[in-house]
Every structure is written in structure tokens, then in C-alpha cells.
């Protein structure tokens, strides 16, 4: 078991013929992911190292039976690409595109909710998802993810920050702790998939025994997750929140992590998670060590 994607997931890549799409699409395939097709309007009938390319998602889905899509197209085209995939029957969409206007994200998200309620969007501006040994969609370097064991204990990872997602995977690898699934939800204002969506799945997944959550300053997603954890998550958790020393009113990077009006501080988020019974580390390594302690208690 894993959450959202596994060895049976068939994936198309929207933008496979572009630089990023080709690099990561082929890397995902080399990892063992079932990358069954690419989509680039006007390039139908060609192929990328043996992967057939179609003009539309609908054609690709019809030919391959794919249920997931990896969207790696520029910001201007991303919203249309996501909606095209949803319209063609894809049910799991991973969008790594960085720099999509917030208004576009809001409209796309709410269109999905209304017209395609069964479709899950992961991202935009996220590193993607990896169920180690089974499926890797996105830009994560597969080799840094520790394979889960049949017996466990295995850890699920959910993270709002790209590089800190890799950091979390790496910490667990150093400790030899297996990962069931690692989900990077991305730090944009309107993420398709939230902490809570992932926590709910991890709680239900028999292969996941503990959960690491990586958050950052800005917004209130971590506080909402803490409320959810208190009421619904019985599996042990550790967490880390980036940005304790970030000055208020300054936007930290593209993703829009910002402390404004005294809201969204790292301290507030850490306090909320602690109150929900989560062990909170002061840096990613400490969150890893805390998880090692949890795992030692489980095995």
C-alpha cells in the first residue's frame, strides 16, 4: 500500500517534449514509474525515447488507459493543461509548474471542485509524489528515498516545501527508515492537495505507521492540520516548521511564504502542532531524530 499512487499507476506527461518534461519524465520512467505517454499539442505521432506522444490528453488516455498526469508546462499554459487532463478523465494530476498567478490557481481549483469532484490535483509549484519502489511523479531524486519494508514501521512524509521534502527523505534514508509515500504539496497560495488530505490518507493507509510533516511560515494550513490531527490522527508524528527567524512582512522566495499581520508565524504553528501531540524539531535533522525515536518505539 501507499497513498495516491503505486506500481499500477499509469502516468502521462503533459509537456514531455519540453526540456524539464523530458528530463524528469525519463527520470521517473527510469525509476520504474509507468510513464505511458506524453502530450504536446502539434507533436502527436512522435515519441520521446520510445514514449509515444499525443496531441491531446484525451487521445493519450484513450490509447493507454492512464489515470494520472504529470503537468510540466509553463505558468501561462498550466491552468488549461490541468483542466484538460481533468476533462479527459485523469483523476490524479501532479503540477510542478512554478509561478502560476494566484488568481488562476484559485479559479482552476474551484473549477475542479465544482466540475470534477473526483479529481485530485497535487501542487502547483510542488516537487511531486513518490511511493518508493513503486512510483515517482515529479522532480524528486528517487535514489534518496528509502524503500518501505513489508513489516514496517514505515513513515509517510507530507511537506509544503520542495527542498525540505528532499531533506526529510534524506534524513530518513540516513536513519534507514522506510518511506511509504512522500507527498510534496507545494507552497503556493491555493494548493490542490492540503496537509489534511494527506494526513487522512496516511491515517487510513496500513503501510504507514508514523508521519512526518514539514511546514513553513505563512497562511494557516499548519494550524488547520493541527486541529485535524488532534481529532483524527492516531499515528505518531514529528514535524518541522521552516522560518522561525524570517522577518515579518518579507516574502521569502517565490512560493509566498510570508508572516503578515502577526499571523502565520513559525512559533504559532509549532505551538499548535505540539498541542496536537506532534513532536516538533527545531531543524529538519531534529525532526528526523525525533522520528527515529518514534520508529524505535514502534518496532
Partner 1 sequence: MDLFEYQGKQYFARYDIPVSKGDVAVTVDQAIAAADAAGYPVVVKAQVQVGGRGKAGGIKLANNADEVRTHAGNILGMDIKGHVVKRVWVENASDIAEEYYASFTLDRGAKKHLLMLSREGGVEIEEVAEKNPAAILMLHIDPVDGLPAAAAKKAAVDAKIPEAAQQGVADILVKLYRCLVEGDCDLAEINPLILKPTGEVHALDAKVSLDENAEFRHPEWAEFQATVELDARELLAREKGLQYIGLDGTVGIIANGAGLAMSTLDVVNQVGGSAANFLDIGGGANADVMAGALEVINSDKNVKSIFINIFGGITRGDEVAQGIVEALGRVDLRAPIVIRLDGTNAAEGRDILKNAGIPESKLTSKSTMLEAAEAAVALAK
Q: Where does this chain bind partner 1 (CB under 8 A)?
A: 20, 75-76, 99-103, 106-107, 109-111, 114, 127, 139-141, 144, 159-164, 166-167, 170, 187, 189-190, 214, 216-217, 219-221, 224, 240, 242-247, 250-255, 257, 261, 266, 282-285
Give least dist CB 44 to partner 1, A: 28
**Nearest residue (CB) to partner 1, 201 versus 216:** 216
Distance CA 28, CA 142 (A): 8
**Nearest residue (CB) to partner 1, 144 versus 155:** 144
Cell of 121: 490535483
Task: Tell me, yes or no, if 209 is annotated catalytic.
Answer: no
**Nearest residue (CB) to partner 1, 19 versus 50:** 19
Burial class (CB in 10 A: 0-12, 13-18, 19+), 159: buried
Q: Is 262 left (phi over 0), alpha (psi -120 to 50) or beta?
A: left
- Report helix, strand or coil for 280: strand
- Report helix, strand or coil for 201: helix
E strand residue ranges, 15-75: 34-39, 47-48, 51-54, 68-71
Cell of 79: 491552468
**Nearest residue (CB) to partner 1, 67 versus 260:** 260
Give least dist CB 24 to partner 1, A: 8
User: Which residue is catalytic, options 24, 209, 254, 282?
Assistant: 254
Give least dist CB 45 to partner 1, A: 29
Asked if 44 and 100 count as a contact pair (C-beta separation under 8 A), the reply is no
Q: Which residues have a catalytic role annotated?
A: 254
Amino acid at each position: 500500500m501507499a497513498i495516491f499512487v503505486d506500481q499500477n499507476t499509469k502516468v502521462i506527461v503533459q509537456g514531455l517534449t519540453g526540456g524539464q518534461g523530458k528530463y524528469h519524465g525519463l527520470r521517473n520512467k527510469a525509476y520504474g514509474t509507468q510513464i505511458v505517454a506524453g502530450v504536446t499539442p502539434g507533436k502527436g505521432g512522435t515519441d520521446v525515447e520510445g514514449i509515444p506522444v499525443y496531441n491531446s490528453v484525451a487521445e493519450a488516455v484513450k490509447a493507454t488507459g492512464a489515470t494520472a498526469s504529470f503537468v510540466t508546462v509553463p505558468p501561462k499554459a498550466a491552468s488549461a493543461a490541468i483542466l484538460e487532463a481533468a476533462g479527459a478523465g485523469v483523476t490524479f494530476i501532479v503540477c510542478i509548474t512554478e509561478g502560476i498567478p494566484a488568481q488562476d490557481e484559485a479559479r482552476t481549483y474551484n473549477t475542479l471542485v465544482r466540475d470534477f469532484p473526483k479529481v485530485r490535483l497535487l501542487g502547483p509549484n510542488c516537487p511531486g509524489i513518490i511511493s518508493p519502489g513503486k512510483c515517482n511523479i515529479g522532480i524528486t531524486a528517487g535514489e534518496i528515498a528509502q524503500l518501505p519494508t513489508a513489516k514496517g514501521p514505515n513513515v509517510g512524509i507530507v511537506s509544503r516545501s520542495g527542498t525540505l521534502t528532499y531533506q526529510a527523505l534524506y534524513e530518513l534514508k540516513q536513519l534507514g527508515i522506510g518511506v511509504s509515500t512522500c507527498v510534496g504539496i507545494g507552497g503556493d497560495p491555493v494548493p490542490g492537495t492540503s496537509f489534511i488530505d494527506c494526513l487522512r490518507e496516511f491515517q487510513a493507509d496500513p503501510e504507514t505507521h508514523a508521519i512526518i510533516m514539514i511546514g513553513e511560515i505563512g497562511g494557516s494550513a499548519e494550524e488547520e492540520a493541527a486541529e485535524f490531527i488532534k481529532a483524527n490522527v492516531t499515528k505518531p508524528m514529528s514535524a518541522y516548521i521552516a522560518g522561525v527567524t524570517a522577518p515579518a512582512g518579507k516574502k521569502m522566495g517565490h512560493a509566498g511564504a510570508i508572516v503578515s499581520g502577526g499571523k502565520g508565524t513559525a512559533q504559532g504553528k509549532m505551538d499548535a502542532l505540539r498541542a496536537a501531540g506532534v513532536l516538533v524539531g527545531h531543524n529538519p535533522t531534529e525532526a528526523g531524530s525525533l522520528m527515529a525515536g518514534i520508529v524505535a518505539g514502534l518496532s
